[in-house]
Structure 1
Amino acid sequence: MAYFRKSTRLLLLCALLLAGCGSKPQQWSLTDVTGHLPDLQFSLTSDQGRAVSAKDYRGDVVLLYFGYTHCPDVCPTTMAHLAAVMQKLGAAADHVRILFVSVDPARDTPALLHEYVTAFSPRAVGLTGSNNELATVARRYRVAYEAEKPGANGNYEVTHSSAVYIFDASGRARLLATPDDSIDAMTHDIRQLLDSNS
């Protein structure tokens, strides 16, 4: 009987040690959307004037954001936020891309997008397309946007969602960041995604 108890204890100890060998579950600071949003998929035009798709960014963690260059507040604030995250990531930022999808294709030419996004980060890419192409991508990620009526000077604003969609290196939707999420929280979670790919 004593032998049986000793053997049982040994088996339990081995089981606990083996359980400890597995990778610990990831603790996210941002909203975990794994399995709730579709994979990264689009066919648009880059700020270099080239046709690109989600496949061009496989292997990188992607931060997808919908905005426009004439945006007076939330877009430059968000882009500055993302640029700060990239700086905090250091060399690891080489495996991260910011994709800025324009919701104002009438004004956001590829050249203007390039000037805008690279002012924040050299690892940012501006994307544009036809109204239909952009609407398709926006619907895929439940992004709402609408151009307001132009003023007397012809200028107008575009109301739009402000979340940042974060995809892993395989193109799977993993996290959602909002303007309330800190730079440290985003950096922490992106590092975890990068570490899980290495």
Structure 2
Amino acid sequence: MSSWFSFQRKGCFAALLTAWLLSAGLAACSHPDTTPWKLTDVSGHLPDLDFNLTDDTGKPVTGQSFAGRTTLVYFGYTHCPDVCPETMARLMQVLQQLGPDAKNTRIAFITVDPARDTPAVLHDYVRAFDAQHAVGLTGTDGAIEGIAKRYRVAYQMEKRDPSGAYDVTHSSAVYIFDGHGHARLLATESDSIDTITHDVRRVIELPAS
């Protein structure tokens, strides 16, 4: 009798242990990924994607226009001699590495030189890199200044040369927003293509919130 009871207790304990392990495993699977980001995490430190601008076809665009897409925002200008085309080329490599996930990604190129970067100029420039995923955005001086201030972007028009040409010094970081328009990450020129791709894919895979 005592041996039978002991066997039953052991059997119950084994069953309970198995059930506990299964439930613990399921709970672990349901936990969000807490692995540190490789890029700079700005979650909760920058405002959501919000603006009223004009796209490179002349249509009004807001932050909500990018809802459901992971959006990579870059502030630059079409006459930029080096950093801007280099950054756009790097982002094209990111899209290439994303493969099928690229369909869930958009690149928003916001000009800091609205005087020269008309929608038509932006259209030719941005679409030369990617006609499917990239869009150029412009607006009034006030609108550009407002969104730059919102995301702590610094830019300044330099002194004109005798021909009237000028450069614009500006921040070169890429802001990464999730499909809900929340600011998530900041990528810089020191971050590798693989690192940016890795974290952008993680943003794309974030659960709905």
How far apart in 1 are the matches of 2:137 and 2:207? 26
> What percentage of aligned pairs have identical amino acids?
54
Structure 1: 4+ residue segments shifted above 3 A = 5-16
Q: 2:144 aligns with which of 113, 119, 134?
A: 134
CA drift of 1:26 comes to 3.8
Map 1:65-104 → 2, pairs under 5 A: 65-104=74-113
User: What one-letter code is carried by the residue in structure 2 that aligns with 1:33?
Assistant: V
How far apart in 1 are the matches of 2:115 and 2:203? 35
How far apart in 1 are the matches of 2:104 and 2:180? 12
Aligned to 2:174: 164
* SS of alignment partner, residue 145 of structure 2: helix
- Unpaired runs of 5+ in structure 2? 1-9
The CA deviation string for residues 104-140 of structure 1, in whole angstroms up to 9 with x for no partner, is: 0111111110111111112110000000000000000
Aligned to 2:206: 196
Q: Report the count of equivalent residues.
A: 198
Residues 93, 10 of structure 1: CA spacing in aligned structure 2 closer, same or farther, 3 A cutoff? closer
How far apart in 1 are the matches of 2:123 and 2:166? 21
How far apart in 1 are the matches of 2:206 and 2:108? 21
In the alignment, is residue 31 of structure 1 matched against residue 40 of structure 2? yes
- Unpaired runs of 5+ in structure 1? none
Aligned to 1:144: 154
Q: 2:28 aligns with which of 6, 9, 20?
A: 20
CA drift of 1:18 comes to 4.3
123-132 vs 26-35, greater mean Cα deviation = 26-35
How far apart in 2 are the matches of 1:26 and 1:127? 34
Q: 1:49 aligns with which of 38, 44, 58?
A: 58
Task: Find the structure with the greater CA-based Rg.
Answer: 2
The CA deviation string for residues 41-100 of structure 1, in whole angstroms up to 9 with x for no partner, is: 000000000111011110100000000000011101100000111111112111111000
How far apart in 2 are the matches of 1:176 and 1:152? 37
How far apart in 1 are the matches of 2:69 and 2:26? 32
Aligned to 1:40: 49
* SS of alignment partner, residue 196 of structure 1: coil
How far apart in 2 are the matches of 1:39 and 1:31? 16
* SS of alignment partner, residue 25 of structure 1: coil
* SS of alignment partner, residue 78 of structure 2: coil
CA drift of 1:13 comes to 4.2
CA drift of 1:35 comes to 0.6
The CA deviation string for residues 129-181 of structure 1, in whole angstroms up to 9 with x for no partner, is: 00000000000000010000100111100000000000000000000000011
